[in-house]
Amino acid sequence: MMQSPHVMQASHAARALANLDREIVSEKYQDGIYILHPQTRGNQPIKADVLFIHGILGAAFKTWRQKDRCTFEEGKEAESQDDYTECWPKSWLAADCPNLRVLSVEYDSHLSDWMAKCPAENQRKSLAYRSRELLNKLKVAGVGERPVVWVAHSMGGLLVKKMLLDAANDPDLQGLLKNTKGIMFYSVPHHGTFMAEYSVNVRYLLFPSIEVRELCKDSPALRCLNEGFLKIVKENEIKMLSFAETRPTNIGPMIKILVVPTQSADLGLGELIEVDVDHLSICKPEKKDSFLYRRSLQFIQEALQHFISH
């Protein structure tokens, strides 16, 4: 299974093997925590962790795949498939930074309240619940014991902010905050999204109701989260890089909308880079030498340069 060309199958096998390895018994990978690198035990010492957190409608692998391209031209492949990847953190980042542990996190992101049978189900969808659940899983996986860089898309960025705020208030998780060296945000709606106020029909089609309430533009919950987060970022001197989409996203056949406008993706701290892509493509570099991947790699290397260069 480890040799499978399908990234999900290979990663499920890698997690099972890691959990069976008696020599690294202190690190366990629970449901939703996938180890993308290293997938076998090697001689390369692991110096730092990079964590990938998807957004609404995302998943541990499909969020981070390469941008789909038309590779057929007159019935033939227009370019080599050698540089194609189903999951760029697993293929490209692992090759460029072999002494990193690369983890991808998956969490439940329901699409609506229609499936909720009881209030507990609704509670399970909130940022607060997910933050606590993921912090527990990451602790078991040994995250926080070495330097960390977080990479988040869309609402995943709000979840990262909430987790770090929760870690700041928990004596058992101080190590996670102290070891966080950098955070990279791909189109994260720090100040909300207009989509939360879109027509009821579109909203029900697209967004979970609890998240919609949390995502309303300039909502008090988002403002409070942002203020607390910026405070701990400054105190801990965490490096930041944000990417913003500038191209509208096709939502069904009738609607095109800028899901996260630049002003919402702008945290007010760290560098902000506008990219000519839509909301779904901003975390999917087209190829390894594309600006999106090279700049992302540069940020990770700079944030961890004191640790991975030795």
Give the pLDDT confidence of 109-153 residue by residue, as tens digits.
Answer: 653 333 444 444 455 457 788 899 999 999 999 999 999 999 999
User: What's the first-to-final CA gap in the chain, in angstroms?
Assistant: 34
Distance separating alpha carbons of residues 237 and 178, to the nearest angstrom: 9
Give the count of beta carbons closer than 10 Å to the beta carbon of residue 213.
13
**3-state secondary structure (DSSP) of residue 271:** strand
Contacts of 306 (CB under 8 A, 6+ apart): none
Q: Does the residue 46 lie in any domain?
A: yes
Q: Does the residue 194 lie in any domain?
A: no
CATH number at residue 270: 3.40.50.1820
Domain span at residue 14?
A: 7-68+82-109+123-188+239-308
Angle ∠(218,219,223) on CA atoms, nearest 5: 75
The strand pairing partners of 255, in sequence order, are: 251
Q: Does the residue 2 lie in any domain?
A: no
* Domain tally, the chain: 1
Give the pLDDT confidence of 202-216 residue by residue, as tens digits.
Answer: 555 555 444 555 566
Q: Does the residue 297 lie in any domain?
A: yes
Can you read off the two tokens belonging to residue 34?
A: 């996938």
Lowest mean pLDDT among 49-63, 90-104, 118-132: 118-132
DSSP tag of 63: G
Give the pLDDT confidence of 234-271 residue by residue, as tens digits.
Answer: 999 999 999 999 999 887 777 788 889 999 999 999 99
Q: Does the residue 184 lie in any domain?
A: yes
Distance separating alpha carbons of residues 265 and 185, to the nearest angstrom: 8
Q: Does the residue 93 lie in any domain?
A: yes
Is the pLDDT at 27 greater than 90? The verdict is no
Q: Does the residue 156 lie in any domain?
A: yes
Q: Does the residue 201 lie in any domain?
A: no
